[in-house]
Structure formats: structure tokens, C-alpha cells
């Protein structure tokens, strides 16, 4: 997610093809990408959509995206302060939408893109880092144009956080679950003692 022309498609295409092709068009699409993490294959579905200012369309689509995703990458351009301000608004909106929908917490990664254009920088790295620190998010600064590995790190980082989030939001056992686990323990003891 992020405002117009920050490089949402460029980052996605970099991950999928390892290439930077320059122009991407306005196609809304969900891409699948598989890679190995700790010896296991993980398939990531990435929803890349062009920025829209039509709030009537955007609001319902936004809720749909928030509900659909297990993690979010919010992108701004380091040369575009308005895009950075928009990321900090997006974080608040995602958090309040998740509260409203009563859904589980999901990790958010903030990405400052277009690092290669440092001579046109208007947002300092420290500002991105501070925003991440204050909002309990993670932060990367990358260039989709120059570097495949930094883009890969962003997606791998998100997958790691999603795994952590899944582990910490394990549902409580409930009465049946407790009975089941106790039976399992006692059954094991019985077998151990024979």
C-alpha cells in the first residue's frame, strides 16, 4: 500500500522477476510467489493495487484488503514527503480498521523506496526509523531500481514477522482443549512407565 508512484508495482515485480522494468501500468492484481524459509516452502500472495483517490471505492476496498492480509508493506518515496505523511495515516487507519473488524494483529513493514535518488531526498532515514519505532512497525530503506536483495529482505522480513504473529496469537485452549492435553500427558506417562 502507499500513494501514487511510490514504487508498489516496482517492488512487487522486482521480487517476482528480479528485474526493474521502469514502467508498470495500473493493473490491480494478486500475485503468488513461493520461496524457501528455514527449509520450508512458503507461498506469499501479494495484492498490488494502484492508488485511487476515489474515497467511495477506496474505503470498501481498503477494508477488504485489511481483512484479507496477514501482513502489510506500506511504501513511501524518500523524495516525496506527502507519501511519507500518508504512510503514518495509513498505519493508524489499518490499526483502527483491524480493531473495528475485531481481527488478529498483523505485522506492518514500512518501506522508504527510491534510495538511489538520494540527491532528491526530502525524508530522512531517521524519520522513517522513528515512525517505525513509535508505531511498533519494522523499517527498511530500499531501491527497487538498483537492488534485488534489499527488496527480498523486505518480503522475508515480513514473512518472519507473520510467523511470529501467528505463534503469539495462538487461540487459548478452552475446556475441551485442556482435557485433551491433560489426557495426552497422562497417556504418555502411562506408556512411559511400562
Ligand X SMILES: Nc1nc2c(ncn2[C@@H]2O[C@H](COP(=O)(O)OP(=O)(O)OP(=O)(O)O)[C@@H](O)[C@H]2O)c(=O)[nH]1
Binding site for ligand X (CB under 6 A): 2, 4-10, 22-24, 26, 50-51, 113-114, 116-117, 143-145
24: helix, strand or coil: coil
CB 44 within 8 A of CB 32: yes
Strand partners, 108: 72
CB 138 within 8 A of CB 107: yes
Task: Tell me whether residue 46 or residue 106 sits nearer to ligand X (CB atom).
Answer: 46
Task: Tell me whether residue 117 or residue 162 sits nearer to ligand X (CB atom).
Answer: 117
Task: Tell me whether residue 123 or residue 172 sits nearer to ligand X (CB atom).
Answer: 123
CB of 145 to ligand X, least distance (A): 3
CB of 27 to ligand X, least distance (A): 8
State CA 61 to chain mean position distance.
17
Strand partners, 70: none
CB of 192 to ligand X, least distance (A): 59
Considering only CA atoms, give the Rg of the chain.
Answer: 20
CB of 55 to ligand X, least distance (A): 16
Find the helix or strand (DSSP H, E) in which 31 lies: strand 29-37
Task: Tell me whether residue 63 or residue 116 sits nearer to ligand X (CB atom).
Answer: 116
Amino acid at each position: 500500500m502507499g500513494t501514487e508512484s511510490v514504487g508498489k508495482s516496482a517492488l512487487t515485480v522486482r521480487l517476482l522477476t528480479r528485474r526493474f522494468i521502469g514502467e508498470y501500468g495500473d493493473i490491480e492484481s494478486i500475485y503468488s510467489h513461493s520461496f524457501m524459509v528455514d527449509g520450508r516452502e512458503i507461498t506469499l500472495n501479494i495484492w498490488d493495487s494502484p492508488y485511487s483517490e476515489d474515497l467511495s471505492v477506496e474505503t470498501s476496498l481498503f477494508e477488504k484488503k485489511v481483512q484479507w492480509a496477514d501482513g502489510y508493506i506500506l511504501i513511501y518515496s524518500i523524495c516525496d514527503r506527502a507519501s511519507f505523511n500518508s504512510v503514518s495515516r495509513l498505519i493508524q487507519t489499518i490499526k483502527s480498521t483491524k480493531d473495528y473488524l475485531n481481527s488478529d494483529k498483523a505485522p506492518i513493514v514500512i518501506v522508504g523506496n527510491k534510495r538511489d535518488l538520494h540527491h532528491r531526498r526530502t525524508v530522512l532515514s531517521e524519520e522513517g526509523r522513528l515512525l517505525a519505532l513509535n508505531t511498533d512497525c519494522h523499517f527498511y530503506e530500499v531501491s527497487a531500481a538498483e537492488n534485488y536483495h534489499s527488496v527480498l529482505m523486505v518480503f522475508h522480513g515480513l514473512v518472519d514477522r507473520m510467523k511470529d504473529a501467528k505463534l503469539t496469537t495462538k487461540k487459548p485452549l478452552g475446556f475441551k482443549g485442556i482435557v485433551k492435553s491433560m489426557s495426552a500427558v497422562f497417556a504418555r506417562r502411562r506408556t512411559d512407565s511400562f
